[in-house]
Structure 1
Amino acid sequence: MGMAPPSNSAAKASWRTEVRRKRADRTGCGSEFAHQLAEALAESRVLVAYAALAGEPDLDQALDAARAAGKQVLLPTTHPGEPLRFGVLESPMAELPRVGTWQIRQPEPTLSAAEALAGTGASSAGDRLPAPVDTILVPGLSFSPAGWRLGNGGGFYDRTFGPLGAAPVAGTGIRVFGICYHDEIVDELPRDDWDLRVGSIVTERSTVPTVDAD
Protein backbone atom coordinates (compact mmCIF):
# COMPACT_ATOMS: atom_id res chain seq x y z
CA MET A 1 0.00 0.00 0.00
CA GLY A 2 3.03 2.23 -0.37
CA MET A 3 3.64 3.37 3.19
CA ALA A 4 6.64 5.62 3.78
CA PRO A 5 9.48 4.39 6.03
CA PRO A 6 8.40 4.86 9.67
CA SER A 7 9.67 8.06 11.23
CA ASN A 8 9.75 6.39 14.63
CA SER A 9 11.62 3.27 13.53
CA ALA A 10 14.57 3.67 15.93
CA ALA A 11 12.33 4.32 18.94
CA LYS A 12 10.10 1.36 18.08
CA ALA A 13 13.11 -0.94 17.62
CA SER A 14 14.39 0.01 21.08
CA TRP A 15 11.01 -0.76 22.68
CA ARG A 16 10.83 -4.11 20.89
CA THR A 17 14.24 -5.16 22.16
CA GLU A 18 13.32 -4.35 25.75
CA VAL A 19 9.94 -6.12 25.68
CA ARG A 20 11.36 -9.24 24.03
CA ARG A 21 14.11 -9.39 26.64
CA LYS A 22 11.52 -9.40 29.43
CA ARG A 23 9.27 -11.90 27.64
CA ALA A 24 12.08 -14.45 27.46
CA ASP A 25 11.48 -15.26 31.13
CA ARG A 26 7.67 -15.37 31.04
CA THR A 27 5.18 -18.21 30.87
CA GLY A 28 2.22 -18.07 28.50
CA CYS A 29 -0.52 -17.62 31.19
CA GLY A 30 -2.92 -19.53 28.96
CA SER A 31 -5.52 -20.20 31.68
CA GLU A 32 -5.53 -16.57 32.80
CA PHE A 33 -6.01 -15.27 29.26
CA ALA A 34 -8.69 -17.88 28.59
CA HIS A 35 -10.63 -16.63 31.61
CA GLN A 36 -10.42 -12.98 30.54
CA LEU A 37 -11.26 -13.72 26.90
CA ALA A 38 -14.27 -15.89 27.77
CA GLU A 39 -16.06 -12.77 28.97
CA ALA A 40 -14.71 -10.49 26.23
CA LEU A 41 -15.81 -12.91 23.50
CA ALA A 42 -19.16 -13.90 25.01
CA GLU A 43 -21.21 -12.11 22.33
CA SER A 44 -18.90 -12.80 19.38
CA ARG A 45 -19.94 -15.03 16.49
CA VAL A 46 -17.00 -14.67 14.09
CA LEU A 47 -13.63 -13.51 15.34
CA VAL A 48 -10.20 -12.91 13.90
CA ALA A 49 -7.53 -14.22 16.25
CA TYR A 50 -3.97 -15.52 15.85
CA ALA A 51 -1.69 -18.41 16.80
CA ALA A 52 0.75 -17.07 19.37
CA LEU A 53 4.46 -17.02 18.63
CA ALA A 54 7.10 -17.99 21.20
CA GLY A 55 7.03 -15.47 24.04
CA GLU A 56 3.54 -14.16 23.24
CA PRO A 57 0.55 -14.74 25.53
CA ASP A 58 -0.80 -18.24 24.90
CA LEU A 59 -4.31 -18.05 23.39
CA ASP A 60 -4.69 -21.73 22.46
CA GLN A 61 -7.00 -22.59 25.36
CA ALA A 62 -9.17 -19.52 24.73
CA LEU A 63 -9.49 -20.18 21.00
CA ASP A 64 -10.25 -23.87 21.42
CA ALA A 65 -12.97 -22.90 23.92
CA ALA A 66 -14.39 -20.30 21.53
CA ARG A 67 -14.57 -22.84 18.74
CA ALA A 68 -16.17 -25.43 21.04
CA ALA A 69 -18.80 -22.82 21.96
CA GLY A 70 -19.82 -22.53 18.31
CA LYS A 71 -17.91 -19.40 17.37
CA GLN A 72 -16.06 -19.29 14.07
CA VAL A 73 -12.39 -18.45 14.49
CA LEU A 74 -10.29 -17.03 11.64
CA LEU A 75 -6.50 -17.05 11.80
CA PRO A 76 -4.08 -15.00 9.67
CA THR A 77 -1.48 -16.08 7.16
CA THR A 78 1.48 -13.87 6.35
CA HIS A 79 3.25 -12.95 3.14
CA PRO A 80 6.00 -10.30 3.42
CA GLY A 81 4.88 -6.86 2.27
CA GLU A 82 1.24 -7.90 1.78
CA PRO A 83 -1.93 -7.58 3.88
CA LEU A 84 -2.92 -10.59 5.92
CA ARG A 85 -5.14 -13.30 4.48
CA PHE A 86 -7.27 -15.56 6.65
CA GLY A 87 -8.38 -19.14 7.02
CA VAL A 88 -11.02 -20.79 9.21
CA LEU A 89 -9.79 -22.74 12.24
CA GLU A 90 -11.18 -26.24 11.68
CA SER A 91 -9.14 -28.22 14.23
CA PRO A 92 -7.76 -27.84 17.74
CA MET A 93 -4.99 -25.25 17.86
CA ALA A 94 -2.39 -27.90 18.66
CA GLU A 95 -3.05 -29.62 15.32
CA LEU A 96 -2.37 -26.63 13.09
CA PRO A 97 0.62 -27.03 10.74
CA ARG A 98 3.62 -24.73 11.11
CA VAL A 99 4.33 -22.89 7.88
CA GLY A 100 7.04 -20.68 6.41
CA THR A 101 10.17 -18.98 7.68
CA TRP A 102 8.70 -18.14 11.09
CA GLN A 103 6.96 -21.52 11.49
CA ILE A 104 3.65 -19.82 12.24
CA ARG A 105 0.71 -22.14 12.85
CA GLN A 106 -1.90 -21.30 10.27
CA PRO A 107 -4.80 -22.78 8.29
CA GLU A 108 -5.18 -22.69 4.54
CA PRO A 109 -5.75 -19.04 3.53
CA THR A 110 -9.04 -18.70 1.67
CA LEU A 111 -10.18 -15.18 2.60
CA SER A 112 -8.95 -11.67 1.99
CA ALA A 113 -9.34 -9.22 4.86
CA ALA A 114 -12.26 -7.54 3.11
CA GLU A 115 -14.02 -10.89 2.58
CA ALA A 116 -13.49 -11.87 6.20
CA LEU A 117 -14.80 -8.60 7.59
CA ALA A 118 -17.85 -8.66 5.32
CA GLY A 119 -18.61 -12.34 5.91
CA THR A 120 -18.62 -13.06 2.18
CA GLY A 121 -15.90 -15.68 1.99
CA ALA A 122 -15.78 -19.41 2.67
CA SER A 123 -13.62 -21.96 4.44
CA SER A 124 -11.36 -24.41 2.64
CA ALA A 125 -14.27 -26.89 2.82
CA GLY A 126 -16.52 -24.41 1.01
CA ASP A 127 -18.60 -23.49 4.06
CA ARG A 128 -19.71 -19.87 4.08
CA LEU A 129 -19.02 -17.63 7.06
CA PRO A 130 -22.13 -17.43 9.26
CA ALA A 131 -21.77 -13.66 9.71
CA PRO A 132 -19.31 -10.80 9.25
CA VAL A 133 -16.38 -10.57 11.64
CA ASP A 134 -17.42 -8.81 14.84
CA THR A 135 -14.22 -9.08 16.90
CA ILE A 136 -10.50 -8.89 16.17
CA LEU A 137 -7.72 -9.96 18.55
CA VAL A 138 -4.45 -8.19 17.80
CA PRO A 139 -1.06 -9.22 19.22
CA GLY A 140 1.24 -6.55 20.52
CA LEU A 141 4.50 -6.17 22.39
CA SER A 142 3.03 -3.16 24.20
CA PHE A 143 -0.04 -0.95 24.14
CA SER A 144 -0.68 2.52 25.49
CA PRO A 145 -3.79 3.50 27.49
CA ALA A 146 -5.02 5.24 24.32
CA GLY A 147 -4.84 1.96 22.40
CA TRP A 148 -1.72 2.64 20.35
CA ARG A 149 0.22 -0.51 19.59
CA LEU A 150 3.81 -1.63 19.28
CA GLY A 151 3.87 -4.69 17.01
CA ASN A 152 6.63 -7.03 15.96
CA GLY A 153 7.75 -4.78 13.12
CA GLY A 154 6.37 -6.60 10.10
CA GLY A 155 3.54 -4.10 9.63
CA PHE A 156 0.99 -6.84 8.90
CA TYR A 157 -1.82 -5.58 11.12
CA ASP A 158 -1.31 -1.93 10.18
CA ARG A 159 -1.20 -2.89 6.50
CA THR A 160 -4.42 -4.87 6.90
CA PHE A 161 -6.62 -3.12 9.46
CA GLY A 162 -4.95 0.25 10.08
CA PRO A 163 -6.28 3.58 8.76
CA LEU A 164 -4.26 3.23 5.55
CA GLY A 165 -4.71 -0.54 5.33
CA ALA A 166 -6.48 -2.85 2.92
CA ALA A 167 -9.54 -3.17 5.20
CA PRO A 168 -9.58 -0.35 7.78
CA VAL A 169 -11.63 -1.18 10.87
CA ALA A 170 -12.02 2.30 12.37
CA GLY A 171 -15.67 3.28 12.36
CA THR A 172 -16.95 -0.18 11.38
CA GLY A 173 -18.25 -1.15 14.82
CA ILE A 174 -15.93 -4.17 14.93
CA ARG A 175 -14.47 -4.65 18.40
CA VAL A 176 -10.67 -4.64 18.35
CA PHE A 177 -8.86 -6.07 21.39
CA GLY A 178 -5.12 -5.78 21.88
CA ILE A 179 -3.46 -8.69 23.67
CA CYS A 180 -0.42 -8.27 25.92
CA TYR A 181 0.76 -8.86 29.48
CA HIS A 182 -0.54 -6.39 32.04
CA ASP A 183 2.80 -4.72 32.72
CA GLU A 184 3.27 -4.12 28.98
CA ILE A 185 0.65 -1.36 29.04
CA VAL A 186 2.84 1.73 29.09
CA ASP A 187 2.08 5.45 29.30
CA GLU A 188 3.26 6.35 25.80
CA LEU A 189 4.44 4.65 22.63
CA PRO A 190 6.00 6.01 19.44
CA ARG A 191 3.42 5.91 16.67
CA ASP A 192 2.84 6.75 13.03
CA ASP A 193 -0.19 7.81 10.98
CA TRP A 194 -0.83 4.29 9.67
CA ASP A 195 -0.72 2.51 13.06
CA LEU A 196 -3.71 0.42 14.11
CA ARG A 197 -5.40 1.56 17.32
CA VAL A 198 -7.30 -0.91 19.51
CA GLY A 199 -10.46 -0.27 21.53
CA SER A 200 -9.62 -2.41 24.57
CA ILE A 201 -6.62 -4.32 25.90
CA VAL A 202 -6.96 -7.85 27.28
CA THR A 203 -4.27 -8.94 29.73
CA GLU A 204 -3.91 -11.92 32.03
CA ARG A 205 -5.51 -9.79 34.77
CA SER A 206 -8.34 -7.83 33.19
CA THR A 207 -9.81 -6.17 30.12
CA VAL A 208 -8.84 -2.50 30.00
CA PRO A 209 -10.93 -0.08 27.88
CA THR A 210 -8.76 2.46 26.13
CA VAL A 211 -9.08 6.19 26.65
CA ASP A 212 -9.62 8.83 23.99
CA ALA A 213 -6.55 9.30 21.82
CA ASP A 214 -4.89 12.71 21.86
Structure 2
Amino acid sequence: MLSAFISTDKAGWRTWAREHRITLPDHSAATTAHLRAFLRETGVRRVLAYRALPGEPDVSGLAQGFELLAPRARFRPTPRLTLHPWDTATEMSRFGALQPPANAPEVSLSDVDAVLLPGLAFDTQGVRLGYGGGFYDRLLPGFGGLTVGVVQRALIVPRLPADAHDCPVAWLATENGIERTRR
Protein backbone atom coordinates (compact mmCIF):
# COMPACT_ATOMS: atom_id res chain seq x y z
CA MET A 1 0.00 0.00 0.00
CA LEU A 2 1.16 3.51 -0.79
CA SER A 3 0.48 4.92 2.68
CA ALA A 4 3.19 2.64 4.05
CA PHE A 5 5.67 3.50 1.29
CA ILE A 6 7.75 6.64 1.09
CA SER A 7 10.94 6.83 -0.96
CA THR A 8 13.04 9.66 -2.26
CA ASP A 9 14.79 7.66 -4.95
CA LYS A 10 13.59 6.15 -8.21
CA ALA A 11 15.05 2.72 -7.41
CA GLY A 12 12.85 2.44 -4.32
CA TRP A 13 9.79 3.50 -6.29
CA ARG A 14 10.60 1.00 -9.05
CA THR A 15 10.75 -1.81 -6.49
CA TRP A 16 7.43 -0.70 -4.98
CA ALA A 17 5.71 -0.40 -8.39
CA ARG A 18 6.92 -3.79 -9.64
CA GLU A 19 5.77 -5.51 -6.45
CA HIS A 20 2.45 -3.68 -6.42
CA ARG A 21 1.50 -4.11 -10.07
CA ILE A 22 1.76 -7.91 -10.03
CA THR A 23 -1.16 -7.90 -7.57
CA LEU A 24 -3.41 -5.82 -9.86
CA PRO A 25 -6.03 -7.22 -12.24
CA ASP A 26 -5.68 -6.64 -15.99
CA HIS A 27 -7.86 -3.70 -17.04
CA SER A 28 -6.48 -3.42 -20.57
CA ALA A 29 -9.88 -3.58 -22.29
CA ALA A 30 -11.36 -0.75 -20.21
CA THR A 31 -8.24 1.40 -20.56
CA THR A 32 -8.17 0.86 -24.33
CA ALA A 33 -11.86 1.76 -24.64
CA HIS A 34 -11.26 5.06 -22.82
CA LEU A 35 -8.20 5.75 -24.98
CA ARG A 36 -10.10 4.99 -28.19
CA ALA A 37 -12.83 7.51 -27.34
CA PHE A 38 -10.32 10.17 -26.22
CA LEU A 39 -8.09 9.81 -29.27
CA ARG A 40 -11.06 9.99 -31.65
CA GLU A 41 -12.46 13.03 -29.84
CA THR A 42 -9.12 14.84 -30.17
CA GLY A 43 -8.73 14.01 -33.88
CA VAL A 44 -5.70 11.75 -33.49
CA ARG A 45 -4.83 9.44 -36.39
CA ARG A 46 -1.21 8.32 -36.01
CA VAL A 47 -0.15 7.02 -32.56
CA LEU A 48 3.16 5.86 -31.18
CA ALA A 49 2.04 3.03 -28.91
CA TYR A 50 4.05 0.27 -27.21
CA ARG A 51 4.05 -3.51 -27.14
CA ALA A 52 3.07 -4.32 -23.56
CA LEU A 53 5.32 -6.02 -21.07
CA PRO A 54 3.72 -8.19 -18.36
CA GLY A 55 1.78 -5.93 -16.00
CA GLU A 56 1.38 -3.07 -18.50
CA PRO A 57 -2.00 -2.27 -20.03
CA ASP A 58 -2.13 -3.78 -23.51
CA VAL A 59 -3.18 -1.09 -26.01
CA SER A 60 -2.89 -3.24 -29.15
CA GLY A 61 -6.69 -3.10 -29.56
CA LEU A 62 -6.21 0.46 -30.84
CA ALA A 63 -4.79 -0.97 -34.07
CA GLN A 64 -8.39 -1.11 -35.30
CA GLY A 65 -9.17 2.54 -35.94
CA PHE A 66 -5.75 4.20 -35.68
CA GLU A 67 -2.41 3.96 -37.43
CA LEU A 68 -0.20 2.60 -34.67
CA LEU A 69 3.55 2.78 -34.59
CA ALA A 70 5.88 0.65 -32.48
CA PRO A 71 9.19 1.80 -30.99
CA ARG A 72 12.55 0.12 -31.33
CA ALA A 73 15.23 0.79 -28.72
CA ARG A 74 18.61 1.49 -30.27
CA PHE A 75 21.70 1.66 -28.10
CA ARG A 76 24.45 2.96 -30.41
CA PRO A 77 25.81 5.51 -30.90
CA THR A 78 23.50 6.93 -28.21
CA PRO A 79 20.39 5.30 -26.73
CA ARG A 80 17.24 6.37 -28.60
CA LEU A 81 13.89 5.15 -29.88
CA THR A 82 13.04 4.85 -33.54
CA LEU A 83 9.44 4.59 -34.75
CA HIS A 84 8.11 1.95 -37.15
CA PRO A 85 4.81 0.59 -38.48
CA TRP A 86 3.01 -1.44 -35.79
CA ASP A 87 2.86 -4.70 -37.73
CA THR A 88 6.65 -4.77 -38.19
CA ALA A 89 7.16 -5.52 -34.47
CA THR A 90 8.07 -9.17 -34.91
CA GLU A 91 11.25 -9.72 -32.90
CA MET A 92 11.78 -9.90 -29.15
CA SER A 93 13.68 -7.00 -27.59
CA ARG A 94 16.15 -7.36 -24.75
CA PHE A 95 13.37 -5.95 -22.52
CA GLY A 96 10.98 -8.79 -23.40
CA ALA A 97 8.53 -6.94 -25.68
CA LEU A 98 8.06 -7.26 -29.41
CA GLN A 99 9.89 -4.66 -31.46
CA PRO A 100 10.49 -3.97 -35.15
CA PRO A 101 13.71 -5.37 -36.65
CA ALA A 102 16.63 -3.00 -37.23
CA ASN A 103 15.84 -2.67 -40.95
CA ALA A 104 12.11 -1.87 -40.58
CA PRO A 105 11.00 1.35 -42.31
CA GLU A 106 11.16 4.36 -39.99
CA VAL A 107 8.54 7.04 -39.35
CA SER A 108 9.44 10.53 -38.14
CA LEU A 109 8.16 11.73 -34.76
CA SER A 110 6.97 14.88 -36.54
CA ASP A 111 4.37 12.70 -38.30
CA VAL A 112 2.90 11.45 -34.99
CA ASP A 113 -0.23 12.91 -33.38
CA ALA A 114 0.02 11.21 -29.98
CA VAL A 115 2.50 9.21 -27.92
CA LEU A 116 1.27 6.57 -25.46
CA LEU A 117 3.85 5.91 -22.77
CA PRO A 118 3.95 2.84 -20.56
CA GLY A 119 5.38 3.17 -17.08
CA LEU A 120 5.85 1.45 -13.78
CA ALA A 121 4.00 4.37 -12.16
CA PHE A 122 3.07 8.01 -12.80
CA ASP A 123 2.37 10.88 -10.47
CA THR A 124 -0.48 13.36 -10.66
CA GLN A 125 1.83 15.92 -12.31
CA GLY A 126 2.52 13.50 -15.16
CA VAL A 127 6.01 12.45 -14.09
CA ARG A 128 6.69 8.95 -15.41
CA LEU A 129 8.57 6.30 -13.52
CA GLY A 130 10.09 4.29 -16.34
CA TYR A 131 12.55 1.45 -16.39
CA GLY A 132 15.65 3.64 -16.19
CA GLY A 133 16.80 3.83 -19.81
CA GLY A 134 15.65 7.40 -20.51
CA PHE A 135 14.46 6.52 -24.03
CA TYR A 136 11.21 8.50 -23.89
CA ASP A 137 12.93 11.44 -22.17
CA ARG A 138 15.28 11.68 -25.17
CA LEU A 139 12.44 11.25 -27.68
CA LEU A 140 9.90 13.76 -26.38
CA PRO A 141 11.60 17.17 -26.06
CA GLY A 142 10.05 19.39 -28.71
CA PHE A 143 7.17 17.01 -29.45
CA GLY A 144 4.00 19.06 -29.94
CA GLY A 145 1.37 16.32 -29.95
CA LEU A 146 -0.54 14.61 -27.16
CA THR A 147 1.40 12.69 -24.53
CA VAL A 148 -0.57 10.10 -22.58
CA GLY A 149 0.74 7.93 -19.77
CA VAL A 150 -0.99 4.54 -19.69
CA VAL A 151 -1.10 2.81 -16.32
CA GLN A 152 -3.38 1.14 -13.78
CA ARG A 153 -5.10 3.70 -11.53
CA ALA A 154 -3.53 2.13 -8.43
CA LEU A 155 -0.08 3.10 -9.77
CA ILE A 156 -0.75 6.85 -9.88
CA VAL A 157 0.81 8.47 -6.83
CA PRO A 158 0.88 12.04 -5.51
CA ARG A 159 4.57 12.69 -6.20
CA LEU A 160 7.51 10.81 -7.71
CA PRO A 161 11.14 11.92 -7.72
CA ALA A 162 11.92 13.78 -10.95
CA ASP A 163 15.08 14.80 -12.73
CA ALA A 164 15.53 17.89 -14.90
CA HIS A 165 15.49 15.77 -18.09
CA ASP A 166 12.17 14.03 -17.26
CA CYS A 167 9.35 14.84 -19.71
CA PRO A 168 5.98 14.73 -17.90
CA VAL A 169 2.91 13.64 -19.83
CA ALA A 170 -0.15 15.86 -20.25
CA TRP A 171 -2.73 13.08 -19.79
CA LEU A 172 -3.11 9.82 -17.88
CA ALA A 173 -5.18 6.89 -19.16
CA THR A 174 -6.43 4.26 -16.71
CA GLU A 175 -9.26 1.79 -16.43
CA ASN A 176 -11.29 4.65 -14.88
CA GLY A 177 -10.87 7.05 -17.80
CA ILE A 178 -8.62 9.84 -19.07
CA GLU A 179 -7.50 12.65 -16.80
CA ARG A 180 -5.40 15.77 -17.32
CA THR A 181 -2.26 15.96 -15.22
CA ARG A 182 -1.52 18.87 -12.90
CA ARG A 183 1.72 19.88 -14.61
Post-superposition shift, 1:196?
1.2
Q: CA RMSD in A?
A: 2.0
Confirm or deny: 8 A CA contact 2:27 2:152 kept in the other structure. Answer: no
2:33 maps to 1:35: yes
2:90 maps to 1:73: no
Which amino acid is 2:39 matched to? L
- Tell me, in whole angstroms, the C-alpha distance in 2 between the residues paired with 1:90 and 1:138: 18
Which amino acid is 2:60 matched to? D
Equivalence for 2:91? 98
The alignment's TM-score, normalised by the length of structure 1, stands at: 0.73
- Tell me, in whole angstroms, the C-alpha distance in 2 between the residues paired with 1:33 and 1:159: 26
Q: Percent identity?
A: 32
In the TM superposition, 1:1-214 aligns within 5 A as: 11-42=9-40, 43-61=43-61, 63-64=62-63, 68-69=64-65, 71-80=66-75, 81-90=78-87, 96-108=89-101, 109-111=104-106, 116-118=108-110, 132-161=111-140, 163=141, 168-169=142-143, 172=144, 174-211=145-182, 213=183
Which amino acid is 2:83 matched to? F
- Tell me, in whole angstroms, the C-alpha distance in 2 between the residues paired with 1:182 and 1:24: 14
Aligned length: 171
- Tell me, in whole angstroms, the C-alpha distance in 1 between the residues paired with 2:123 and 2:96: 29
Unaligned runs of 5+ in 1: 1-9, 119-131
- Tell me, in whole angstroms, the C-alpha distance in 1 between the residues paired with 2:55 and 2:116: 17
- Tell me, in whole angstroms, the C-alpha distance in 1 between the residues paired with 2:27 and 2:158: 23
The alignment's TM-score, normalised by the length of structure 2, stands at: 0.85
- Report the secondary structure of 1:56's partner residue: coil
- Report the secondary structure of 2:108's partner residue: helix
Runs of 4+ in structure 1 over 6 Å off: none
Post-superposition shift, 1:25?
2.3
Larger strand percent: 2
- Tell me, in whole angstroms, the C-alpha distance in 2 between the residues paired with 1:74 and 1:17: 29
Confirm or deny: 8 A CA contact 1:78 1:156 kept in the other structure. Answer: yes
- Tell me, in whole angstroms, the C-alpha distance in 1 between the residues paired with 2:96 and 2:54: 10
Which amino acid is 1:193 matched to? A
Which amino acid is 2:113 matched to? D
Unaligned runs of 5+ in 2: 1-7
Residues 111-143 of structure 1 deviation map (CA, whole Å, 9 limit, x = unaligned): 2xxx5222xxxxxxxxxxxxx211110111121
Q: 1:136 to 1:52 in 2, by over 3 A?
A: same
